Structure 1
C-alpha cells in the first residue's frame, strides 16, 4: 500500500495481483536472505553441503518463476490511471491517518482519517469537473513531423499526417489530462482557434493573400518571409519540429528584424494558443 501511490504517480498503472504475489514473495524473501547468510558463512569454512545449495537454488528459482508469471498477466494490470502529485501527497496522508487510527482507535483519529479520505475524494472530483470544462489547443514538437492537439473537455482531436501510428506524446497527454476519447484528422491549411486565425504553410509554400493572426511554418517551406509578413501581417509566427534547423534560424532573424514574436517548438517547447 505504501508503494502503490508511487507506482500510480510514476507509471500510472495498478497491478491487480500484487496482493496475492506479496503474500508469497515477502515470506520467501525472509527465507532466502536467511539462507543466503548461512550459505556465505558455511562456504567460508568449506562446510557447505551440495544438497543445501541445490535447495537454495530451487527456492530462488521458484520465486523468480513466480515473479515472471505475475509479470506476464497483463489482463490484471490496470493502466493509464491519471494520478498527479497532489493525489500522491493526499494518498500518503490517508495512509498515515489510517495507520494512526488502527494503532489507537478514538474519535479524533476517526475524524482525521475520514477527513483525509474526503480531501482525496474531493480533489479527485474537482479534477474531473475541471477536465470537463478545459479547452485548449497546442502545437507540439516532434522531429520531422507536425502535430497539433485540439482538446475539448475529455475529447482530444489530434491533427497530424501520421494518424495511424501510435504516439507516446498522445498516450502521456491522454493519461495526464484524463482524456477519455481520442480522434484523428489530417491537417488543413487554416483554422480558427480561440478567436485567432491560424494559417499553416507547408513544403509547397502556397498561401492565400489574406490577413491571419498566426502563421505555422511546417515542412521547411521555401518562402520569402519578409514578403509574407508584408502581405499577411501576422501577429506571431510559429515553427514546429518538421522544419530544417537552418530555415528556423533564418526565420528567427527575420522575425526579430520585423519585431514579430517567433516561437520555435524545438527551443521553447509546445506552443499553446491563448
Structure 2
C-alpha cells in the first residue's frame, strides 16, 4: 500500500464495479453502502492509533463501495415501452459500422410520448445523414433480442451498456429540419463528417481512402470486409484503429512543430500547447473510447513532467482508469478498454526484462528496432489471455508482421495526419494523393500477404474464465523467470503452466461428456447441430448463407463446446427430419 496506494485503491474500485455487475444489489443495499463510505471518509480525518492502523483497509473498503454505488446508478436508467411502427423524430449522435444492406447510426429518438437512444438502420441507397438536421420519418421500433444460446454474442447487453434501448428500422421517406441548437461537440462531429466526405471525393483508391479515414479519423464504418479481415488475421488491427501509438506520434509531431515555431522564451509552454491540441484532436474525432483513454493517459503522464515530479507509469495508468470509470463505469466492460490498459501493463511488466536480452542499443536504428520487438512481444503476451477469451483466435504471423510494419508506423501516421489536414483545408494536391495512395496500396498488399499464411492462424480456440486467470498467472511469473533464469524460477513457472494444462484438460473432459442437440435460428433459416463427445455435425438449409452461419453460429459454438472435429451438411428445404448415427432428429 505504501508503494502503489493509488493502484491498489483503483483495483478495489474496479472490483466493486464487477461485484455490482455480477450481483445487481438493489436500492435497499445501496444506501447503507453509501452511509458506510461516508463514515469511512469522515473517519480517515481523525487521528487515532487504531484508525491509523486500519486506514489502508478502510480506504480499500470505501473504494470498493464507491465502485458498487457508481455502477448501480450507471446501470439504473428507466427504459420506455415502445414497439411497432412509429412516427419518430431524431438527431444522430454518431455513425456506426455499416452492414451489407444498411448504414447504422446512433441517435436520440423521440416518439409522441418517449425519448430514448437507439441504433438506426438506413438503407445504403438513401442519402447519408448529418448532425445539422432533425429528421422525421416512420420506423419499425423494436428491442434488441437476447441471444438464443450462451455461446453467442449478446448484442442486446452490449447496447444496454451504452444506454441504447431500441433498434429503429426506417421504412419510409425522411423529412429534415435544420437545427439551430448544435452543441460544440456536435459542431466538431459535423466538421469531421465533412472531412470524411472530402476524403471520399479524392482520387485515391477506395482502399486508401478507408485506410486514411480509419487511421486518423477513427472511422471504419465503411471499410472493406476483406481489408478488415487482413488486419485481423495478421495481428495488425491495432495499427488501423486509433490507439496509444497514434496519439503519441501525433503528440510528438505537435511538440516538434511547437518547439520549432515558438520563440525561445515561450518554449517551456510547448508541452501545455501540445496537450491542448491533442484534446482538440480528441474532440474532433468524436471522443472515441480508445482515443480518450490514450489522451488521458498521455496528459496525466506529462502533468508529472510539468510539475517536475518523477513520472510514474502505474500512477498515470491507475488515475486515467479511475477518471474514465468515474464518469462511466460501463467502460470497464468494453473490450478495447480492457485490452488497452492490459497492453500498457504488459509493457511496464515485461518490456525491460525482454529488452535486456537484446544486444546493446548503441545507435538510434537499433534502439527503434529492438524496442519495437520487445514492446510488441510484451503487449501481445499481456493481452493474449483476453484475446483468446473474447475472439478465440490467434495469429503467430503477427509477431513477424509487427516487426516489419510497426517500425514504419510513425511515418505512415504522420503522412496520414498531414494528408487529412490538407484535405480538411480543401488543399487537394493530385500528386500527394497519388503518392499516398501508392504507399498505402503497397502497405495493404504486404498486410494481405501476411494474412494469407493460413498455417499460422488458429481459430476456435476454447478459453474459459478460469483458464484466463491461469494464463495471467503465467504472464506475471514470466517477469521473474526472464530477469533471472534459474531452477527455482523455472520450476515455479512450469508449475503454473502444468496447472493451466490440467485445468484445460479438465474443461475439455467436462465439455466432451455432454451430448447436445440444438436448433439454431439464424435470420429466416434454421440450423440443426448434433454434438457427441468432441465432434459435431451441422445441418444447414440449402438457401442459407453458409459463410455467415459459419461466422456467427458454427465457429462460436465450436469454440464454446471445445469441438475437435466438425462436419457441415446441406439440408433440402423440404426435409424436416435427419438421421445421424442411427438416430432420427426433427428440424422444427
CA distance in 2, matches of 1:160, 1:70: 32
CA distance in 2, matches of 1:177, 1:92: 22
Q: Deviations over 1:102-133 (max 9, x none)?
A: 12345543332112111111112122222331
Q: Return closer, same or farther for 1:159/1:61 CA change in 2, 3 Å cut-off.
A: closer
Q: Which residue number in structure 2 is paired with residue 176 of structure 1?
A: 560
CA distance in 2, matches of 1:63, 1:188: 51
Describe the SS at the equivalent of 2:529: strand
Give the Å deviation of 1:86: 2.8
Q: Which residue number in structure 2 is paired with residue 135 of structure 1?
A: 515
Q: Return closer, same or farther for 1:4/1:145 CA change in 2, 3 Å cut-off.
A: same
1:4 partnered with 2:384: yes
Q: Return closer, same or farther for 1:87/1:59 CA change in 2, 3 Å cut-off.
A: farther
- Structure 1 length as normaliser, TM-score? 0.51
Describe the SS at the equivalent of 1:110: helix
Q: Return closer, same or farther for 1:189/1:27 CA change in 2, 3 Å cut-off.
A: closer
Q: Report the structure number with the largest CA radius of gyration.
A: 1
Describe the SS at the equivalent of 2:517: strand
CA distance in 2, matches of 1:62, 1:189: 50
Q: Return closer, same or farther for 1:95/1:187 CA change in 2, 3 Å cut-off.
A: same
Q: Return closer, same or farther for 1:199/1:133 CA change in 2, 3 Å cut-off.
A: closer
Give the Å deviation of 1:135: 1.4
Pick from 447, 451, 457: which aligns with 1:77?
Answer: 457
Describe the SS at the equivalent of 1:101: helix
Q: Deviations over 1:223-255 (max 9, x none)?
A: xxxxxxxxxxxxxxxxxxxxxxxxxxxxxxxxx
Describe the SS at the equivalent of 1:134: coil
1:115 partnered with 2:499: no
- Structure 2 length as normaliser, TM-score? 0.26
Give the Å deviation of 1:163: 8.8
Q: Return closer, same or farther for 1:109/1:76 CA change in 2, 3 Å cut-off.
A: closer
CA distance in 2, matches of 1:199, 1:76: 38
1:187 partnered with 2:571: no
CA distance in 2, matches of 1:199, 1:164: 20
Q: Which residue number in structure 2 is paired with residue 234 of structure 1?
A: none
Relative contact order, higher structure (CA 8 A, sep 6+): 1
Q: Which residue number in structure 2 is paired with residue 241 of structure 1?
A: none
Q: How many residues in Structure 1 have an aligned counterpart in Structure 2? A: 184
CA distance in 2, matches of 1:72, 1:182: 24
Q: Return closer, same or farther for 1:146/1:66 CA change in 2, 3 Å cut-off.
A: closer
CA distance in 1, matches of 2:463, 2:554: 17
Superposed CA RMSD in Å reads 4.3
CA distance in 1, matches of 2:396, 2:462: 17
Give the Å deviation of 1:64: 5.0
CA distance in 1, matches of 2:402, 2:497: 25
Q: Deviations over 1:63-109 (max 9, x none)?
A: 55533432344454222222333333222221221122112345543
The structure richer in helix per residue is 2
Residue correspondence of structure 1 range 20-99 to structure 2 within 5 A: 20-29=400-409, 63-99=443-479
CA distance in 1, matches of 2:490, 2:452: 40
Q: Which residue number in structure 2 is paired with residue 244 of structure 1?
A: none
Q: Return closer, same or farther for 1:182/1:65 CA change in 2, 3 Å cut-off.
A: closer
Q: Tell me if the contact between 1:139 and 1:148 (Cα under 8 Å) persists in the aligned partners.
A: yes
Q: Tell me if the contact between 1:28 and 1:63 (Cα under 8 Å) persists in the aligned partners.
A: no
